Every structure is written in structure tokens, then in C-alpha cells.
Amino acid sequence: MKLFKAMATVAGLTGLSRILGFIRDILTAAILGAGPIADAFFVALKLPNFFRRVTAEGAFSVSFVPLYSEKIATEGEEKADLFASNAFAVMLLFLVPFTLLALIAMPFIIYGIAPGFIGDAVRYDTAVELSRVTFPYLLLMSLTALMGGVLNARDKFAPFAGAPILFNLSLIIALVVFTPVLENAGHAMAWGVLGAGAAQFLWLLFWVKKHGVRLRLKKPEFTGNIKKLFKLMGPGVIGAGVVHVNLLADLIIASLLASGSISYLYYADRLNQLPLGMVGIAVGTALLPMLSKSLARGDVKEGKNLFNRSMEVCLLLAFPAAVALLTIPETLISVLFERGAFTSDDTSATAYVLMAYAIGLPAYVSVKIYSSVFWAKQDTVTPVKISVVTTILNIVLSLVLIQFIGVVGIALSTGLVGWLQFILLRHFSREESIAKFDDRLKKNILKILGACLVMAVALKAVDVWLFDVSYGERTMPAFVILILIVFTGLFVYSAAVLGSGAIKLSELKTYMKRK
């Protein structure tokens, strides 16, 4: 099935990007460090990223892709490309003046988003200067997101999935190459962000042309399709904003706890986001355009098969990832982060936070699939309503749980609320034929859980043997031992899954062939 090839492509490229992101973080800490310049740069990075996540890669993508896919299915590629060209023109009409105004008003914007910088000449002036360098990244990435949506709708997933790799490479190069010749590492990274935006835009433009997409500059027209796009984007903007309110609330609550709490959340989330990003983004990115086309054609059978096989792959990957994080969290944290100022006590605290996050990992990946069902139907309102409800409950539950288990309560609340969001999305899609579990999926869920149990026993046994029993006799570096443990878990789980019949080798070969 073409879906599995697409998911494997997106997951692989996302995984590579996340690895480069880890390398970027290590270099950033070593070269930029912490201090006033670092504070200023992180504000300058957060500003365009906030708008990008709320609009370009959030509300715009989930609204544009179903409309464009529907156009391809019902009116052909020429009409779809005309719609995309018009959307490109309208985006330029709004974003160019918005960017120019932001550059002019940057001193006032920094007052609003970083009030703590007021009175600190170094942080405030640097933040204004660096933000003026980074803010055009919003314009470039918004246009890049449009071209990525076009290619995804045409089942060309690799170019847009590979774009974040260019972002991380650009910042790594900027840090290493330009820090010695510019004022400081903050300036080097700011220009690296702008360079990344340009590189990603040109990368997508190249692939758009290569795949024969007829995007062209034209006078913007506010047609019925554009008005519908804006109407669909409205709830999406609110939903993306709610997510960021939730993240901000977690940060504020953690700041009220013991020193180090924010760091424990950050490091644990970095590990939790690796499988969540690889699996969740891959499934959501691949499923949305294909499901949109199936619905546009009225092909319920194909839509149901796409949904069930996506859920199958999701659980096949998300459950073992969650079980691994729950089984050997301390080993993972200690090998990856325990050095220098990061102590064994920090490892222990972060491990508990990681376990709490991992509880909700399968739920959040499944939420991506259920959300795609609503987006493919061009229903952006229902997922947003659910998101608002779960965000409020998450904040309330966090405030309650921190009274008993400290910072772990914030992560546990996030994990538990993920399952509530899954339940609500499943409830409100109960009348949708395509969103019903088929018999194969129901049987395979039990087989996958059984394989995860076998893997957990093997992981714990090898972990205890290599890290605890032979601790004083180890001759191999810790990261080599970690790799051995991970591959042991992977081997045992793969054998258990294949042995149970949850997936067959013949199916794997079929799935990875292009249709």
C-alpha cells in the first residue's frame, strides 16, 4: 500500500532531523551557552516559530491540504494548481506587509513577549536586533508550507519531510563557521535561521518544479475557495493557539516548583518527542491527503482501510516505544544527559517525568489519526473544541497532581489527558464508517500488546545485567551498551510481532513497494 511507503519516508526523514536537532542542541549549549545573548536569541527564535506553528504548519496545512486534494480528485491537477497559485498570492499579500510592520515595531513586540528584558540593555537590544534578522523566516516558511502541502497532496512526501534537516544543518553550520567571524554565536545562529528559511523555500521550489506543479505568481483573488480556506483556518488558529497556551501553562506551573523542574520537563520531552514526532507526524502527514481524496471520491471502503492500517502501524510502533520509555527510562537519561552539571539525582527525577509522559504516547499518536479524519472531512471545529476542553482539564489536573508528586504531576497530567482526547475524538467520530475498527485491527492490538510485554521483560533483563550487575566490570562505553539494549529490544519485539502473526514478512514487502 502506498500509505506505508509514505509513512516510512516521512518517519525516516523526521528521525534524521531529530538526530541532527540533538547535535544542534549539544553545540548550542557548548558554543552559545546560557546568558544574556542566549536569552535574546531564544526569544528571537521563538517569535517567528510561534506564528509558523500556529498558522503555516498548523491551521494552514490542515485546511489547505484537504481542499487542494479535493480539487485534484474532482476537477483535476490544473484547477488544483490554479487554487494553490491563488493561495500563494493571497499569502504574499498578507505576510509581506505583516513582516515589514513587525520589523518596524520589533522594539514594542519585545516589550510584550519578554517584559523581563526591560531595563537590561544587553538582552533587550540584542533581542530586537536578532528578532529583526529571524522574523522573515515566518514568510519563507509559510510559503514553504504551502508548497509542501501541494506535494503531500500529490503523494510526494519526501521533500517537505526533509526540509527540517536543512534547518538543523543551517544552524549547525552557522554555529561552527560564522561564530568566529560575527559578533557572537547569537548573531551567527540568527542569520542561520534566516538562511534555513531561504534554503527550505528554495528546496521546496525545486521539487515543485521538478514534479510538474504549475505554481505561478498571479494577482490575488478572494474567490469562494479562498474564503472557505480562511473559514477552515479560523478554528485551526484557535486550536494551535490553545496548544501553545497549554505549553506556556506547563512552564509557568513548573516555575513554581523546585529548581530544575523546567529542565526535567525539557529533557524528558526531548526523548518523548522522538517517537511521537517520527510516528505521529509520519502517519498524519501521509494519511491526510490520501483520506481527503478517498472522501472526495466517495470511496468509503478505501477510506476505512486507510484509517485502520494507519492505526495498525501507529500502534505497532507507538506501543513498544512507550513500553521502552517506561521500562528503561533511567538508563536512557543517564547515558544521553548525565555528564557535567547534570547529576545522578537529575537523572532519577527526569526518568520519572519521562515515564509519566510515555503513558500518553500511544494516545497522542492515535489522536493524529482521528484528527486527520475530521480534517479530511474539512471539519476543523470538532478537534478544536476537544482540544480546548482537554487543555483546560490538563491545567487543572496538573495543579492538583503537583501537590502530591511535584513536577511528575505535570507530565502525568499530559499523559492522562492524551487518552481523554483520544476517547473524545473516538466518541465524536462514532458515526463515521471510515473511523470504525475492523476485525483485523482488533485482533492485532492484542497481539501487539503481547509482543510489547515480551519485549519489556527482555529489555529489563538485559538492562539489569549490563548496567546493574556488571556495573563495576564494564569495559564498553555506556552508549555502546545502550545501543545493545535497544537492539535487543528491537529484535525481541520484531520476533514476537512476526511470531504472533500481527504482521507478516510478505506484507512488509508489499507495503514498501510503490503502488
Say yes or no to pLDDT of 60 above 80. no
Burial 367-395 (b: 16+ CB within 10 A, else e): bbbbbbbbbbbbbbebbbebbbebbeebb
Predicted local distance difference test score (pLDDT) of residue 106: 93
Distance separating alpha carbons of residues 504 and 140, to the nearest angstrom? 43
Burial 473-504 (b: 16+ CB within 10 A, else e): eeeeeeeebbeebbebbeebbeebbeebebbe
Rg (CA), the chain: 23
Give the residue, 475 or 193, on which the prediction is more confident.
193
Region 313-337: what's the mean pLDDT?
Answer: 89
Q: What percent of the chain lies above the pLDDT cut of 70?
A: 84
Q: What is the dihedral of CA 298, 303, 304, 306, to 10 degrees?
A: 170
Distance separating alpha carbons of residues 348 and 343, to the nearest angstrom? 9
Could you give the count of Cα atoms lying within 13 Å of 173 in the half-sphere of its Cβ? 13
CB 365 within 8 A of CB 283: yes
Predicted local distance difference test score (pLDDT) of residue 48: 83
Say yes or no to pLDDT of 303 above 50. yes
Give the residue, 463 or 282, on which the prediction is more confident.
463
Q: Which residue has the cell 494516545?
A: 363
Region 233-253: what's the mean pLDDT?
Answer: 66
Could you give the count of Cα atoms lying within 13 Å of 435 in the half-sphere of its Cβ? 22
pLDDT tier for residue 77 given thresholds of 50, 70 and 90: confident
Region 120-148: what's the mean pLDDT?
Answer: 89
DSSP states along 29-53: HHHT-SSHHHHHHHHHHHHHHHHII
CB 20 within 8 A of CB 106: no
Predicted local distance difference test score (pLDDT) of residue 68: 83
427 burial class (0-12, 13-18, 19+ CB within 10 angstroms)? exposed
Residues 6+ apart with CB under 8 A from 312: 440, 441, 444
Q: Please give the distance of CA 7 from its chain centroid, rounded to a whole number.
A: 14
DSSP conformational letter for 68: H
DSSP conformational letter for 338: -
Region 188-203: what's the mean pLDDT?
Answer: 94
- Overall size of the chain counted in residues: 515
Distance separating alpha carbons of residues 397 and 419, to the nearest angstrom? 14
Predicted local distance difference test score (pLDDT) of residue 514: 44
- How many other C-beta atoms are found inside a 10 Å radius of the C-beta of residue 209? 12
Give the residue, 72 or 252, on which the prediction is more confident.
72
pLDDT tier for residue 241 given thresholds of 50, 70 and 90: low
Region 504-509: what's the mean pLDDT?
Answer: 64
Give the residue, 363 or 111, on which the prediction is more confident.
363
Residues 6+ apart with CB under 8 A from 509: none
